Amino acid sequence: MKSSTAVNVNQYRPSEYRAILVHKYYLGIECGHDPTLEEAVESWETNHADGWRNQKMRRDVEAQIREIDKYCDRISRQRGVEVCWEDAAKEWVSTREAKWRDQWEASTYAGA
């Protein structure tokens, strides 16, 4: 499983990189030695990445929906009128999503 290619860890979001490190730990137990990061990434991409990414996508969408729900409730109370969910979602995405995404990715809830 030796790889001559250096791994660019910047291509992974923090949550995925953490998942790769967890995989590296368990791969080491399975192999009986400490695998290189390149070996762990190769094994991860071959055997686990697709399933993990699909599960993560579901977790991310569910978390975003919860955040939009809270945002919708909050702005409805602040404005004193019922704000429809779709309008709240558009506003949340344009004003808050990027910051939320960075915080979410850095949290342990985002994966691994």
What pLDDT tens digit does each residue of the chain (112 aa) get?
A: 444 467 888 899 888 999 999 999 999 999 999 999 999 999 999 999 999 999 999 999 999 999 999 999 999 999 999 999 999 999 999 999 999 999 998 888 777 5
State how far the Cα of 103 lies from the Cα of 110, in Å rounded to an integer.
Answer: 9
The model's pTM is: 0.77
| CB-count exposure of residue 111 (10 Å: 0-12, 13-18, 19+) | buried
What token pair was written down for 68? Answer: 């939009």
